[in-house]
Every structure is written in C-alpha cells, then in structure tokens.
Structure 1
Amino acid sequence: MQLALLVSYPALLHLAYMRGSSLLASLALGFLVLGIFYKPLRHRNPRVLTALFISALILGLSAYWQVSLLLAKLPALFFPVVLFIVFAGSLMPGREALVTSIGENARGPLSEAMRRYTRFITKLWAGIFLIIIVFTVLAAGMGGDNIWSLLTNIVIYPLVGIVFVGEFYLRKLLFPDHNHPGFIEYLKIVTSAGITRPGK
C-alpha cells in the first residue's frame, strides 16, 4: 500500500498539471504525505495523526484557493536539496561517507576496496541530486508547467530507479566475494537507515 501511494504520487501530479487541476494536485500531495507517514500512521501515532490532519486542512484550502499546482512544486525541489545536503555533507573531512556508513552498519566492517567504492557511490549520488536540482530550477524558470512536470514527475524518478538498481547489481559484479544482501533486503536496509544524518 505504501509503495502504491508513493508510485501514484508523480503520475497523478503530472495528470494534475496536464489538466490544470488544483484538486488533483492536492490529491497527489495527499498520496505523498500518506506514503511518507504510512508506517507510523499504522501505529496511530498521535503526532502523525495531528500532522496528517493539518496537512489535509492545508491541502483542502489549497485546492479551494486554486494554489495547489504552485504548492506541488515544492517537493520536487525540497527532496533533492535535502538529499544532496545529506550525501554531500557526509563527504566532508572527518565524516564517513553515507553509503559506507549504511553498509558497515548493516553488514559489518567493509574492506578497503569496498570503502573506496562506497565513498565513490556517495559522491555519485550527491552529483545526481545536484544535477536534478539544476534541471528542476531551469525547467521551472524556462519551461511551462507541463514540461516541468514531465521532467520532475515522469523522467527523473525512473532514471533514479535505474541508477539505484543498476548500482546494486554492479556492486555484486565488482565484488563477488562480498557478503551482499538480496535486493529486497537491500531495500529494507536503505529505507531503514535513517539518512537524515550526514555521517559520523
């Protein structure tokens, strides 16, 4: 259910821009909020329930005032900026690269070769998110809403997914002797890693 909500978000949001529908944009943002808070929502966390109520109120008013299409542009820039800060911040002197940290926390100490590789992958993701930020800003400033939405909601997500999956299998190919998790386990490791901290 959580995956369905998150996958539906960009498709529904693109449809909202194609039709110029503030109501659909609010609905898409609602899917995003529910997808993000799906797990704590299942435990009926009071803070999460309060946050959802406030979010629903804001999205409802946004649809009524016809500003949801403008509001919906914020996540497309907010998430890449946050992820760039997290990945790039972990590359600062005295800190451990984020992908290295996630790997060691999940599978124990890494070999020196694997540490170099995971540091490179951290740099790669920082670069990818920086490129996404640049193109998102350029598309917002130079293209119409439909072009911007096509880039941010239809093009970027599959490309990020391809890089993510491709890197997983490339890692197994380059380091055949390493104790690699299965792909589903790898997804669980990444999603439960808590990447809000930039490194040690």
Structure 2
Amino acid sequence: MVFVPLLYCSYSPEFMPLKELSAVLSQMPTDAKWRAGARNVAVRRRVATLFLIASLVCAHLPPIGGTRRLAAGALLVSQGCATGLVLGSWFSVPLTLLALPLALRWPVLAVDVDGGLIYVVVFGGCLRLFALSLCPGHEPLISALARRVHGALRPDVARYTRWLTVFWSVFFALALAAPPFLYALGPRGAWRWPMRGGSIGCVLVLMIAETGVRRMIIRDFAHVSIRTTVAAFRDATARSAIPTCRPDADT
C-alpha cells in the first residue's frame, strides 16, 4: 500500500521530474509559471505529509510478534518517499532500497537510529534558525514574525520578542542535550522519552503558557492567536520553497 502513492507520483503530470517541469515552465507565460510551480510544490507537500504521518504511526506500533520488522520497513519506505517528494527528486528511493535489508535485520536499532536522526535534524534546525537570528546584523526571528503580523513594533514588544527568541534557542539546545543526558544518568530507556513525544509536548505546553504570559506583560496591544503566529511562521519559511516569485504582470 505504501507504493501506491509512489506510483501515482511517478505517472501524474503534477509530479513530473524537475527537469521536465523546468522545460514546461519555460514555454508558459510568467504568471502561469508561478501558478504551476506553486501548485506542484503544494501537491507534493500534501502527499509527503501523508507519508510522514504513516512513518509516525509505524514508529509507534507496539512490538508484537513480527510487527517490528514490518514497522521498520514501512517506516523507512514512507520516509524515503516523503524525502523524494519534498526535494523533488527520487534519489532517495535507491538509498531506501539499500537500507531496507538492514532495517529488516535490526528493526529496533533501525527505529531508534531513525528517530534519533529526525530528532536531531528537527530540533537542530530549529536551534540554528532561532540562534542565528540573534547574531549581530540580524533581526530576532520572533521579532520578524511579529513585525510581519503587526507592522512596526513598539520598543517593549521588540524587547519581549527578542528575549522570547533567546528563550526558545535555549530550549532547543536543552532538548538536543536531553537524550544523551538521560542515556548517561537516567533510567533504562529514558533517553527515548524526548524523542517519543516528550519534547513536542513541552513545546505545546510552553506555547500555551507563553500566550498567557505575553498578555500579562504586554498591555494595550492587539495580540494574535497561536494559530496566526504559526501561519506567519509557515508563510515565512514556505517562501523559499516556491520555485519562482509571482510577478505583477507578464514580461
């Protein structure tokens, strides 16, 4: 069943390879190029999201009987397909097929290594994104998001958003340090807790708590919901994935 979306992606015109897509786009009007490129990215993202959800389900299946090998194999295939869709290339498919026998031979180790790599990539990427925005000559990330939503920021809001960026940078650093710390000093198997939803749960709790703290510290301000903040973050990061910028008119 995992390969059904993969076959659809191979034959659907919306999932044509990047070289063919570029050739088609070069023959289209400028505005049509933007729409076609954006649509291709959007559809690939939706299917990649389905594969990622499937991989999460496989990673958390209970180890009953032979389900460990089945889950490890399906996990690897799902993530390989998701990677190919996100990057717009199928180079991940042969790599997945090469790694598949290893995952079937050592399923528990494969799931742990896979979860650890994803954890490091996600939280390491967040740490890099937040921490680099604090460097001289850069605008703190949360300040930039707030300015995108509200426009020019008051001094107290700019100060608060800067310190909030510092807070999240420290949190992501601690989240990365948690698994090795628990592996060395915690109970047996405790190092898996952050990777199995513990850190994500902390993120959700802190986001909800910060919403209340923000309203107490910053008064007389048009506060927005968490949903609006997340949408602004997604919009800021998604712009780099659109293949072309939409023009005002055809040239």
- Normalised to the residue count of structure 1, the TM-score between the two structures is 0.71
Distance 1:116 1:156 in 2: 26
The structure with the larger Rg is 2
Across the two proteins, how many residue pairs are aligned to each other? 189
Structure 1: stretches of 5+ with no match in the other structure: none
Measure how far apart 1:125 and its partner are: 0.4
* Residue among 141, 149, 169 paired with 1:126: 169
Following superposition, the deviation at residue 28 of structure 1 comes to 4.4
Residue 133 of structure 1 and its aligned partner are, at CA, apart by 1.2
Report how far residue 72 of structure 1 moved. Answer: 2.9
What is the CA-CA distance between 1:17 and the residue it aligns to? 7.4
Question: Match for 2:110: what amino acid?
Answer: S
Is 1:192 aligned to residue 238 of structure 2?
no
1:54 shift after superposition: 5.4
Once the two structures are superposed, residues 89-136 of structure 1 have per-residue CA deviations (whole angstroms, 9 ceiling, x without a partner) of 111122111111111123211111001000011000000011111112
User: What does the per-residue CA deviation read over 1:47-74, in whole Å, with 9 as the maximum and x for residues that have no partner?
Assistant: 5363664575466444334352223321
SS in 2 for 1:180: coil
**CA distance 1:64–1:4, change in 2 (3 Å):** closer
Aligned to 1:76: 119
- Partner residue of 1:183? 226
What is the RMSD of the two structures over their aligned residues, measured on CA atoms? Answer: 3.8
Quote the offset at 1:14 in angstroms.
4.3
Structure-2 change in CA distance of 1:55 and 1:33 (3 Å): same
Match of 2:88 among 26, 48, 60: 48
Residue in structure 2 matched with residue 21 of structure 1 by the alignment: 68
8 Å CA contact retained: 2:123, 2:172: yes
Find the partner of 1:116 among 138, 159, 163: 159
Larger RCO (CA within 8 A; separation ≥ 6) = 1
Structure 2 gaps, min length 5 = 1-45, 241-251
Percent of aligned pairs sharing the same letter:
20
Equivalence for 2:178? 135
Range with greater deviation from structure 2 (135-144 or 101-110):
135-144
Letter in 2 for 1:63: A
Secondary structure, aligned partner of 2:176: helix
